[in-house]
Amino acid sequence: MFETNLSIKNKTGLHARPASELTQLCQKYDCDIRIIHNSNEINPKSIISILASGISRGSSITLRVAGNGEEEAGRAIAELINSFRD
């Protein structure tokens, strides 16, 4: 299992464009991907789940990836999330 803690730095959090980019990337991987925010598990393969989560700037999240290609997927997703800046 790949797991890492991340901090959201984008001024709009994970809304609209960042959520769309994240969903598109996650859907490319055939593994279980979860984002944990305020004890809620979010499926980032669903843009509705991301938008409904209310992940805003300064939020701390945990990214968990399990299954086939978990390391590759986890690193790519973490890199994308970290690239979302003002």
22-42 per-position pLDDT tens digit: 999 999 999 999 999 999 999
Residue 85 pLDDT level (bands cut at 50, 70, 90): confident
Helices (H), the chain: 17-26, 47-53, 70-83
15 carries an active-site annotation: yes
Greater confidence, 86 or 32? 32
CATH number 3.30.1340.10 given to 2-83: yes
- Does the pLDDT value for residue 86 go beyond 80? no
The model's pTM is 0.95
User: Which of 15, 57, 64, 75 is an active site residue?
Assistant: 15
